[in-house]
Structure 1
Amino acid sequence: MTVEELRDYCLSKPATTESFPFDETTLVFKVAGKVFALLDIDGRPMSVNLKCDPERAVELRELHAAIQPAFHMNKRHWNSVTSNGSLRDSLIRELIDHSYERVVAGLPKAVRASLADA
């Protein structure tokens, strides 16, 4: 998966915004103001930090060398996913979906309802 493909996929999610709040190389995707993905646009290979259920995070790390605890993030809830050719694009998209859904689930009920209506 390329940076452009990952960006397009993240932006296809309802109410998603993108910005560079930290520096010029870390692209941050948010839903309703809450981060669900951080993408290093200069990284070779490409790497993205995604939120994950803690139990699933451990399982993924055990199964895939390209999935590690996220640098500068809560390692219990965030994984760094490296697109080095060892992971299927479909798995990366699934992990983006999971991250987005985890963040949406933590939003206030009224905000979740407005997203469902979008």
Structure 2
Amino acid sequence: MILWFTLAQVGVAVLAGVVAIAAGLLGRRPGDVTVGSLALIELLLIAQIVVAVIAPFAGNTPTGSMLEFWTYLVSAALVPVAGVAWALLERSRWSTVVMGVAALAVAVMVWRMHQIWTVQIA
């Protein structure tokens, strides 16, 4: 994984999570900003999938378990989709909070993926 890209993903996910949770607690329903922020997170995760496929061929090999890394990556890519689906099915303030929690969960998962890729010894 690339450190600056990981930090960008975590930063976007944390910012989106805080904004969505604050909006939900203020009584706002899912809107363009909250749903769009999860769409941006999803795009970044798709880019991460591409990076994870190409990186080993470029000499950036992982030090941890590839199975664990890919499990985190695929799961993280499904979380924003599930959060947005929830928000579109139940258009309430609490679905906005759920999207925020989903964004924060992705931030934690991306940081864990970085640890698996760079820190652990297989």
More strand by share: 1
More helix by share: 2
Higher relative contact order (CA 8 A, sep 6+): 2
Structure possessing the higher radius of gyration over alpha carbons: 2
Do both proteins adopt the same fold according to a TM-score greater than 0.5, normalized to the shorter chain?
no
Name the TM-score, length of structure 1 as normaliser: 0.29
Name the TM-score, length of structure 2 as normaliser: 0.29
